Amino acid sequence: MAMKFITGAALGLGLAGVALAQDAPMFGGEEDQAYAQQVWQAMTDQHLAGDGAIMSFPYPGTDPHGMMLETFYTTATIDGHEGALVVKRNYGPEGVSVDEVLGAPAEHLGALTIMFQREAGYDDETGNWFYAKYLPDGSLDQSPDGMALAGLVGKNAEAGCIACHQNAGGDDYLFTTDAEMGMMME
């Protein structure tokens, strides 16, 4: 009988572990945060973030990104993998003009949101996109419950990056272009 009890207890602990693993967040862990910092470094190296970042002509945006936006399409190499990188600078507040953003971008920059296409197998179901939302200083923004916004943000959820971007036309998860991401890599 003791054997059955031990087996039952072990089975119960095993099932509890499965339940906890299922409830674990799909984003924002230490690995996602470390990867996001590597992406930030690649962006600063390419002058897409940080001091001395290049500027383009802002265009009107909407929530959740910003009232004025700049979007850059390029590639980056992270951990030996070259992938497509989309960087969106999010400016505000509501009513901000193009001239105000061009005249004082640092005063109006609220966040930088990115999509980096990781290696095949990262998450094939969602196009292998890694998402992150940075504050202007390069630190990661957080969800209302304190999760770092990096990784598979919004997967299997009603809100978040993936939940929104899965509604983009085509298979690329991008609203702003239907360009073949492979073309960006050439």
Spatial separation of the C-alpha atoms in residues 148 and 60, rounded to whole Å: 27
Give residue-wise pLDDT tens across range 122-159: 999 989 999 999 999 999 999 998 999 999 877 788 77
Write down how long the chain is.
Answer: 186
| Angstrom distance (rounded) from CA 28 to CA 172 | 23
Identify whether 9 is part of a domain.
no
Q: What pLDDT is stored for residue 178 in this prediction?
A: 55
Q: 76 φ, ψ to 5°?
A: -150, 155
Q: Which domain holds residue 98?
A: 27-185
Chain mean pLDDT for the chain: 82
Q: Is residue 5 part of a domain?
A: no
The Cα 113–Cα 85 span in angstroms is 11
Residue 20 in any domain: the answer is: no
Q: Is residue 162 part of a domain?
A: yes
Number of domains in the chain: 1
In this structure, how many other beta carbons lie within 10 angstroms of the beta carbon of residue 156?
11
Report the distance separating Cα 12 and Cα 113, nearest Å: 42
143: in domain:
yes
- pLDDT, one tens digit per residue, over 5-61 is 333 333 333 333 333 445 556 899 999 999 999 999 999 999 999 988 999 999 998
Give domain status of residue 16, yes or no: no
